[in-house]
């Protein structure tokens, strides 16, 4: 029997950008029998501390999830452990301000779980529409949620880099968690703010829907972010589910039985993310009007016959 095509297509890129000497981002992933684990992290703290924090986050999460059945609880646990490790390292080395964001994607067919801390993001491209799944833990995102700042003003705000939650900066960390049932063709994109702080959703969507091989699409995204000034380190992982194997029944499946991504744990109190729908070509009211008009025409024509 010929071997089945792999269910997942994966590509990853990291680039220092145009303005920074160091690359303080890190990423890593491991494919598993039933999907895989994917992590991006954006370190901070200057000197070598940012890179260390980001790498510690990636390594700890991959180690913690290795060989275990993924679950929402395990994912939170992995990020909490990364937090403890980085916090202790920072204290031992007197590295003030050492910390990192982390966005983790676990594909556990037919589900995807996403956990995050900070302002690195996960997006879902489904049916040609790109949706930001994660909500930034940042000062500007909090103000947008409160209605005090317009989303279009957040990107250029002078406090856009202020994050309100990170791994390693406090003994406790708050982890947001969401999940969804995958559909064939779904593409999940993880990114640090060197990418999404420069490129808006429309630009990202345009590249991802251009029918390019994943590696080429990510090269384009990195080139675009650099062409737009490359003010920060740029890191991104793309994971596309070309097939969605049925998988085993998961204890957490009940949480994700609907058609939409669901927040399992969120600081903002949201319970469900509603994906935008592609607008139908004709609206129902237009179809009804057309039918009425045709009916009237037929009536007039028929009633004129001798
Ligand atoms: Ca960054």
Q: Which residue range is the domain that position 41 belongs to?
A: 8-303
The domain tally of the chain equals 1
pLDDT of 268 over the 80 cut = no
Query: Is residue 53 a part of any domain in this protein?
Result: yes
CATH number for the domain spanning 76: value is 3.60.40.10
Q: How many CB atoms lie within 10 A of CB 250?
A: 20
Query: Is residue 173 a part of any domain in this protein?
Result: yes
How many whole angstroms from 234 Cα to the centroid of ligand 1? Answer: 7
DSSP classification of residue 167:
B
CA distances for 156 relative to 32, 178, 198, 207, angstroms? 39, 28, 9, 22
The C-alpha atoms of residue 134 and residue 124 are separated, in whole angstroms, by 10
How many whole angstroms from 193 Cα to the centroid of ligand 1? Answer: 5
How many whole angstroms from 110 Cα to the centroid of ligand 1? Answer: 31
How many CA atoms lie within 13 Å of 299's alpha carbon, on the beta-carbon side? Answer: 6
The C-alpha atoms of residue 187 and residue 246 are separated, in whole angstroms, by 18
Query: Is residue 228 a part of any domain in this protein?
Result: yes
The C-alpha atoms of residue 49 and residue 261 are separated, in whole angstroms, by 35
Query: Is residue 2 a part of any domain in this protein?
Result: no
pLDDT at 247: 80
How many whole angstroms from 94 Cα to the centroid of ligand 1? Answer: 22
The whole-model pTM stands at 0.88
How many whole angstroms from 235 Cα to the centroid of ligand 1? Answer: 9
Query: Is residue 25 a part of any domain in this protein?
Result: yes
The C-alpha atoms of residue 277 and residue 111 are separated, in whole angstroms, by 21
Give residue-wise pLDDT tens across range 99-141. Answer: 999 999 999 999 999 999 999 999 999 999 999 999 999 999 9
Query: Is residue 1 a part of any domain in this protein?
Result: no
Query: Is residue 3 a part of any domain in this protein?
Result: no
Give residue-wise pLDDT tens across range 270-292. Answer: 777 777 776 666 677 788 888 99
Query: Is residue 181 a part of any domain in this protein?
Result: yes
pLDDT at 27: 98
């Amino acid at each position: 029997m010929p071997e089945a095509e792999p269910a997942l297509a994966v590509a990853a890129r990291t680039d220092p950008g145009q303005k920074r000497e160091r690359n303080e981002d890190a990423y890593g992933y491991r494919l598993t029998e039933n999907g895989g684990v994917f992590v991006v992290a954006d370190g901070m703290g200057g000197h070598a501390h940012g890179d260390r924090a980001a790498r510690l986050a990636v390594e700890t999460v991959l180690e913690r999830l290795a060989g275990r059945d993924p679950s929402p609880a395990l994912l939170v646990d992995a990020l909490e452990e990364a937090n403890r490790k980085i916090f202790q390292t920072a204290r031992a080395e007197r590295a003030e301000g050492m910390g990192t964001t982390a966005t983790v994607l676990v594909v556990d067919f037919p589900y995807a779980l996403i956990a995050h801390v900070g302002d690195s993001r996960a997006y879902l491209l489904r049916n040609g529409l790109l949706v930001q799944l994660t909500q930034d833990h940042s000062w500007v995102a909090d103000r947008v949620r409160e209605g005090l700042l317009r989303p279009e003003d957040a990107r250029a705000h002078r406090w856009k880099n202020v994050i309100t939650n990170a791994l390693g900066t406090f003994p406790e960390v708050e982890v947001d968690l969401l999940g969804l049932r995958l559909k064939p063709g779904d593409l999940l994109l993880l990114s640090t703010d060197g990418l999404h702080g420069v490129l808006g959703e429309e630009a990202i969507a345009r590249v991802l829907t251009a029918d390019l091989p994943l590696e080429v699409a990510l090269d384009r995204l990195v080139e675009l972010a650099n062409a737009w000034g490359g003010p920060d380190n740029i890191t991104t992982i793309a994971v596309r589910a070309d097939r969605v194997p049925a998988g085993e029944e998961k204890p957490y499946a009940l949480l994700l039985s609907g058609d939409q991504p669901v927040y399992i744990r969120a600081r903002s109190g949201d319970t469900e993310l509603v994906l935008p729908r592609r607008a139908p070509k004709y609206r129902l009211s237009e179809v009804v009007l057309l039918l009425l008009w045709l009916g009237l025409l037929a009536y007039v024509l028929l009633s004129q016959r001798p």
